[in-house]
Amino acid sequence: MYIRSIRQFLLLFSAVILMVGLLAACGQGNGNNSNESSSSNKVNSNGKEESNSKESNEQAKAKDAVKLLNVSYDPTRELYVEFNEAFAKHWKETANQEVTIEQSHGGSGKQGRAVIDGLEADVVTLALGYDIDAIVDAGLIEPDWQSQYELNSSPYTSTIVFLVRKGNPKNIIDWDDLIKEDVEVITPNPKTSGGARWNYLAAWGYALKQNNNDEEAAKQYVAELFKHVPVLDTGARGSTTTFVEREIGDVLLAWENEAYLSINELGPDKFDIVYPSLSILAEPPVAIVDKVVDKRGTREVAEAYLQFLYTDEGQKIAGKNYYRPTNQAIAEQFNDQFPKLELLQIDEDFGGWKAAQEKHFAEGGLFDQIYTPGS
């Protein structure tokens, strides 16, 4: 009887060990990809194989190779693939150290949440400051992050444009045309998509301006606008698919770079880009995740990584990927690509992200009221 229970105990014990081991193994595998829809790309320095880089490392007696994780939002995939390669090369030349940068992409809010929940990002490059502020609230980033880098820590900017079907059959020229009777508008849900918040705010700002800052009228315009939205996707890429692949809607409100990508990837014979009379200056900010870089000892390279975005080379790569460079000299090289238009500013026109978020997108805010019956 005694031996029997010992055997039972051992069996149970080994079962528990096995379970815990299994869980731990699964958990580890999850580390970099804690959400399903975000994808990771590995880009190695100089595009070499990793084994090669190890060899050359030994030869040069350089510092140990280092890895960075950049957690970014949806449409920056192409930008950072190119940028990471350039930076790895630059870092090898200046600091004589191999650096591998891993990327993770997904909706901005979701990515912010992943970092808060423990995804070990060295740097975050998200769609809006509000999502970085949320990480600050979790204690992972110092509150003064926005002054760490020039221009509010926004090395490149973008704006919101209209993507319409070739030849613009519904004759959509400005925000007013979006609420014409037979026009269907495609935009993601501002509650889940960073890009959609910029869409919404641009529409709001336009309506305010048209109606001499009458908020009631602006509210009516935005409510009317969302009545023309037949499908509310959760992210920017989802909306692009709905518009491009499902052929639903007459106009897609999109990031400028996303609109250019759609045209380049799917043929310029299918879509046109329309610049409205007024849009919004979208400043996707970047920040170091202080807690993580201090823990991993990657502060130096992470800081250099973000700083590299401001160099001529970094700015050129941004421009090539349809982000507006903030460096005027570089921006002028892309003048043909980026028509000048009047742009609202989040800080001046909306009192900053915190205020805009509370007023428009928080629980019971203006956006919720659009979808509340009887209001």
Partner 1 sequence: MSKRSIIPGFRLSIGISVFYLSILVLIPLSIIFIKSFELSLAQFWDTIVNPRVLASYRISFVTAFCAAIINTVFGLIVAWVLVRYQFPGKKIIDALVDIPFALPTAVAGIALTALYAKNGWIGSLLEPLGIKVAYSPLGIIVALTFIGIPFVVRTVQPVIEDLEKEMEEAAVMLGAYRLRTLLRVVLPTLYPALLTGFTLAFARGIGEYGSVVFISGNMPLVTEISPLLIMTKLEQYDYAGATAIAAVMLIVSFLLLLLINLLQWSMNRRLTANS
Binding site residues, partner 1, CB under 8 A: 8, 11-12, 15-16, 19, 23, 36-37, 107, 109-110, 112-113, 116, 134, 137, 189, 191-192, 229-234, 238, 245-248, 361-363, 368, 371-373
- 116 or 173: whose CB is closer to partner 1? 116
Q: How far is the CB of 39 from partner 1 (least distance, A)?
A: 13
Smallest distance, partner 1 to C-beta of residue 15, A: 6
> Exposed, middle or buried by CB within 10 Å (0-12, 13-18, 19+), for 247?
exposed
Helix 108-116 vs helix 194-210: crossing angle, to nearest 10: 130
Q: Which helix (H) or strand (E) holds 255?
A: strand 251-255
Select 72 or 326, whichever has its Cβ closest to partner 1.
Answer: 72
Q: Which is nearer to partner 1, 84 or 242 (CB)?
A: 242
Terminal Cα distance for the chain, rounded: 74
Residue 123 in contact with residue 306, Cβ under 8 Å?
yes
* DSSP-based three-state secondary structure for 247: coil
CB of 9 to partner 1, least distance (A): 9
Q: Is 61 left (phi over 0), alpha (psi -120 to 50) or beta?
A: left
Q: How far is the CB of 373 from partner 1 (least distance, A)?
A: 6
Specify whether the CB–CB gap between 89 and 46 falls below 8 A. yes
Helix (H), strand (E) at residue 150: helix 150-153
Q: In whole angstroms, how close is the CB of 137 to partner 1 at the nearest point?
A: 8
Cβ nearer to partner 1, comparing 25 with 371:
371
Tell me the closest approach of the beta carbon of residue 368 to partner 1, in angstroms.
7
Nearest residue (CB) to partner 1, 188 versus 276 = 188
Q: How far is the CB of 108 from partner 1 (least distance, A)?
A: 9
Q: What is the distance between the alpha carbons of residues 254 and 163, in angstroms, rounded to a whole number? A: 7
If the CB atoms of residues 232 and 331 are measured against partner 1, the closer one turns out to be 232
Helix/strand/coil for 40:
strand
Q: Indicate the residue among 65 and 248 with the shorter CB distance to partner 1.
A: 248
Structure tokens at 204: 């709001």
Nearer to partner 1, 109 or 205 (CB): 109
Distance CA 114, CA 108 (A): 10
Q: Distance between CA atoms of 95 and 296, rounded to whole angstroms?
A: 18
| d(C-alpha 158, C-alpha 126), whole Å | 13
Least distance (Å) from partner 1 to the CB of residue 258?
19
